[in-house]
Structure 1
């Protein structure tokens, strides 16, 4: 039924739950998993591009890569997982990748980071559910 499953991750507990569900679905369906971590760096817009901003962007990118490596640790059955790291608005990037990769299913945590981060970004899951052209499974 599913050929490609997109799994956004930000390292949150809800994202980890979504990863486990995606791995299960991929195993029983034979689907490929595409794991994406989006580096949100819109807050640096307008700042002078100096070494400190560059270093901050590098730290954010490294954190995204670590989130994907953590996902790999859950993959006990050696399923195929392709990693994508992108910069931008998380919901927008997730929807773009879903279209580019011809995704059949997006498995996403119901909420990511909490507190102030969530207030600033809004609910990525809500935006994805309301705009995706494919099926979306929201894990709580």
Structure 2
């Protein structure tokens, strides 16, 4: 039975490097790509005549999520690999952990922006929370980490 690798993907350079790492390193594994649609990011969306509309914000966020997943699928095609994709709504770290538990994931691969000091304190660290709570092992691809292409 092959292992299942979860790649948290948001189309950032770090997430792209994480996906490329997973595709080149775990070629015998089932790769599951997860995009987390975080409702906290919808608040900046303008609605009709500048009035916030949760429904419109959600629709726009889902369209953006589909574009991100399409980008992941294109990257997988470069490796002649098939991936399973998912879009979940929730807070990022918690949703990654829940998805890993729900799908018997053996390993998580995710990118990290590598923030330090005060910025990390203010923004928190998704990677740090995932590493602490993951049901399995985690590989964190840091900003500028070379990938095997």
The alignment's TM-score, normalised by the length of structure 2, stands at 0.77
Cα RMSD (Å): 2.6
Structure 2 counterparts to residues 64-83 of structure 1, below 5 A: 64-75=65-76, 76-83=78-85
Map of 2:117 onto structure 1: none
Residue 51 of structure 1: how far off its partner (Å):
7.8
Runs of 4+ in 1 over 6 A off after TM superposition: none
- Residue 125 of structure 1 is matched in structure 2 by 127
User: Equivalent residue for 1:20?
Assistant: 20
Larger radius of gyration between Structure 1 and Structure 2: 2
Distance 1:63 1:127, change over 3 A: same
Q: 1:71 to 1:110 in 2, by over 3 A?
A: same
2:24–2:79 CA contact under 8 A, matched in 1: no
1:15-70 deviations in whole A, cap 9, x for unaligned?
0100100111231xx1011000001103669xxxx982111111111212211111
Determine which of 70, 93, 96 is the counterpart of 1:91: 93
Q: Quote the residue 2:111 is aligned against.
A: 109
Superposed, which structure 2 residues align to 1:27-46 within 5 Å? 27=27, 30-42=28-40
Alignment CA distance shift 1:135-1:121 (3 Å): same
Superposition deviation, residue 10 in structure 1: 1.2
Post-superposition shift, 1:80? 2.2
With over 3 angstroms needed to count, the CA separation of the structure-2 counterparts of 1:25 and 1:90, relative to structure 1, is: same
Gaps of 5+ in 2: 44-50, 115-119, 143-149
Structure 1 unaligned residues grouped into runs of 5+ = 113-117
- The TM-score, its normalising length taken from structure 1, stands at 0.82
Decide whether the 8 Å contact of 2:33 with 2:84 is kept in 1: yes
Q: Which residue of 1 aligns with 2:7?
A: 7
> Aligned in 2, Cα 1:106/1:42: closer, same or farther, shift over 3 Å?
same
